Amino acid sequence: MTEEADVVIVGAGHNGMAAAGYLSRAGKRVVVVERLGKVGGMTSAGYMIPEAPSHLVTPCAVELLFVRGSGLIEELELEKHGLRWVDPDPTYAYLDPSGASVCLFRDPKQTAEDMARLNPEDGKSYLKFLELLNALMDIGLPMMKAEPGRPDLRNLGDMVGSLVRNARLKNELQIMASGTADQIACEWFRHPANIALLTNTAAGAGPIDDDGNGAAYMILAALHRLGTGKPIGSLQSFANAMAKSIEASGATILLNAPVAEIIIDDGAARGVRLEDGRIIKARAVIASCDPRTAFAMTTPGKVERRLLERISHAPANRSNAAPFLANIAMSKPLTLKRHQDMRHDGADLNKAVGYIGTPEQVRESFAAARRGDIPREHAISVTPLSNTDPSQVPAGGGLAYIYVPAMAVDAREGWTQAVKDRTMRDLIAQLSEYYDGFDAEVGRFVETARDREQRLNATNGCVTHIDFGSLRSGQNRPATGFGGPKPAVPGLYIGGAGAHPGGGISGLPGKIAAKRVLRALK
């Protein structure tokens, strides 16, 4: 009942598998243990609608984005193992109630021209704004890749070089780093539709009125450089390619293997005990799961109480606002009504992510969530998955991924089935003012933050494990004393979204954890 490895990794999400890939390629014996029956974690998908068994449901994320700039795809040879993707252009489009639309194209100039149709000054402002965002990305991406608290000459050189090149933007960058996303959008742009395009984009990263979250607009620079990257076959195909890659390099993945205990003995992590009694001894343990979940599984009495308290108080959806997600299976494709007809440039809005929600609705969505209220109308993004990848549905069918960025984790009236059903009726009514196809619904998958907590063992259903913030980044992520080069508990490393640089599909937390372990094992 006892096995041995150099490293055991808790969780076969993309970060856990990223860590396994780099460690196994370095010749280490790696075992990945996963409580579910398939790999992927928050990048998993499946046929989860009984009434629509041939519609592929994506419960969490749908795009690659930052992983295309992290080096992971190339270094783990994921294309060799079957990863394919498409890049719709335009990528995103704000759908105004009037029937007008504003598109985010891969070409920044084309995006600026689209904004200028509504306000000429906004078009000029976008190109200036993007100059600032490109500088932010040139500085931010090396910081994301760097290991906190340890000199990294290559990334440090890239970051310093960018700082020197963009010295004249110093004041603007400081405003971006300290301001709210709502403030930044209103400072730079005038037309409500152009402001809505930005605030809806930022809402995907959290409350738009939190200080410091203006940096979320770096995603715009990433979209122009990298495209969205929607995997053929959903993000499950990305997870499957990672699994094939790491198994090819010698790592072992154990599915249906929930961990009962992360074994701490003589002041250090020594392996894990699974719920079925098996013990996997290891010289290091990487927890790619929620950090609170990981430390709650440590051997009782073997970790200093203050450390446990510190990590248990790390915030997860502290504002009570979290994504509410639904997949709607339909017997016909999803198409736009007025908005496509009003375009005169050939842009195909039916393949773009559609933003619905005025700036006021975005603000009210977060305010209502804080109060525990569920409004009748929401800020929503709609991804017509089957329009970009027909393989995810039966012939002639449709599939819509509905993402509500701000919904109450704990609703004042409780998330009963009746409340879920009423919320979905309101959402479908709002969406049907824009899209055709929802009247052909054949089934749905709906997940609140509490549902996500149950399915993925993530506190409060937090998709980033730990909330972002200036005091929850770098060495202070997930908490002071846990994010530095040396782990708070020797041998126990955090390698998921709760570690630097945080959530999103990048694989960087796992890659950084692997570097730390390799150094320790020397």
pLDDT tens by residue, 307-317 = 999 999 999 99
Tell me the average pLDDT across 24-33. Answer: 98
Residue 147 shares a structural domain with residue 18: no
Helix (H) or strand (E) holding 213: none
In the 3-class helix/strand/coil scheme, how is 60-117 assigned residue by residue? CCCCCHHHHHCCHHHHCCCCCCCCCEECCCCCEEEECCCCCEEEECCCHHHHHHHHHH
pLDDT at 92 > cutoff 80: yes
Tell me the average pLDDT across 208-214. Answer: 90
- CATH number, domain containing residue 30: 3.50.50.60
Assign 468 a pLDDT band (cuts: 50, 70, 90): confident
Residue with tokens 């409340």: 419
- Regarding beta strands 321-330 and 353-356, do their DSSP bridges make them parallel or antiparallel, or are they unpaired? unpaired
- pLDDT attached to residue 164: 65
pLDDT at 198 > cutoff 70: yes
Assign 321 a pLDDT band (cuts: 50, 70, 90): very high
Taking phi first (over 0 means left), then psi (-120 to 50 degrees means alpha), and beta for anything else, what does residue 230 get? beta
- pLDDT attached to residue 521: 95
pLDDT at 184 > cutoff 90: yes
Asked if residue 70 belongs to a domain, the reply is no
Q: Give tens-digit pLDDT for 361-385.
A: 999 999 999 999 999 999 999 999 9
Asked if residue 94 belongs to a domain, the reply is no
Question: How high is the mean pLDDT of the chain?
Answer: 95
Residue with tokens 């017509």: 384
Residue 334 shares a structural domain with residue 428: yes
Q: Give tens-digit pLDDT for 255-279.
A: 999 999 999 999 999 999 999 999 9
Residue 264 shares a structural domain with residue 215: no
Residues 63/378/502/290 CA torsion (nearest 10 deg): -100
- pLDDT attached to residue 424: 98
Q: Give tens-digit pLDDT for 477-503.
A: 999 999 999 999 999 999 999 999 999
Residue 451 shares a structural domain with residue 339: yes
Asked if residue 69 belongs to a domain, the reply is no
Last residue of a domain, one of 226, 242, 261: 226
Residue 321 shares a structural domain with residue 450: yes
CB 353 within 8 A of CB 383: yes
User: What percent of the chain clears pLDDT 90, i.e. is strictly above it?
Assistant: 86
What does the DSSP 8-state code read for residue 298? B
CB 235 within 8 A of CB 505: yes
pLDDT at 159 > cutoff 70: no
CB 19 within 8 A of CB 258: no
Is the preceding peptide bond at 151 cis, omega within 30 degrees of 0? Answer: no
- pLDDT attached to residue 140: 81
Is the preceding peptide bond at 390 cis, omega within 30 degrees of 0? Answer: no
Q: Is the dihedral of CA 85, 90, 96, 100 positive or negative?
A: negative
Last residue of a domain, one of 188, 210, 226: 226
Asked if residue 328 belongs to a domain, the reply is yes
Burial class (CB in 10 A: 0-12, 13-18, 19+), 346: exposed
- Regarding beta strands 92-95 and 353-356, do their DSSP bridges make them parallel or antiparallel, or are they unpaired? parallel
Asked if residue 290 belongs to a domain, the reply is yes
Asked if residue 52 belongs to a domain, the reply is no
Q: CA 261 to CA 167: how far, in whole Å? A: 50
CB 236 within 8 A of CB 105: no
Residue 336 shares a structural domain with residue 452: yes
Question: Which residue type occupies 407?
Answer: M
Is the preceding peptide bond at 478 cis, omega within 30 degrees of 0? Answer: yes
Is the preceding peptide bond at 375 cis, omega within 30 degrees of 0? Answer: no
pLDDT at 154 > cutoff 80: no
Residue 367 shares a structural domain with residue 301: no
Residue 308 shares a structural domain with residue 322: no
Residue 119 shares a structural domain with residue 177: yes
Tokens, residue 98: 């009037």
pLDDT at 88 > cutoff 80: yes
Q: Determine the Cα angle at 446 with ends 445 and 447, to 5°.
A: 125
Asked if residue 193 belongs to a domain, the reply is yes
Domain of residue 187, residue span:
109-226
Residue 447 shares a structural domain with residue 321: yes
Residue 446 shares a structural domain with residue 363: yes
- pLDDT attached to residue 470: 73
Last residue of a domain, one of 193, 226, 259: 226
Asked if residue 67 belongs to a domain, the reply is no
Domain count, the chain: 3
- pLDDT attached to residue 160: 67
Q: CA 240 to CA 14: how far, in whole Å? A: 10
Q: Give tens-digit pLDDT for 395-432.
A: 999 999 999 999 999 999 999 999 999 999 999 999 99
Residue 216 shares a structural domain with residue 281: no
- pLDDT attached to residue 161: 74
Tokens, residue 264: 């701490």
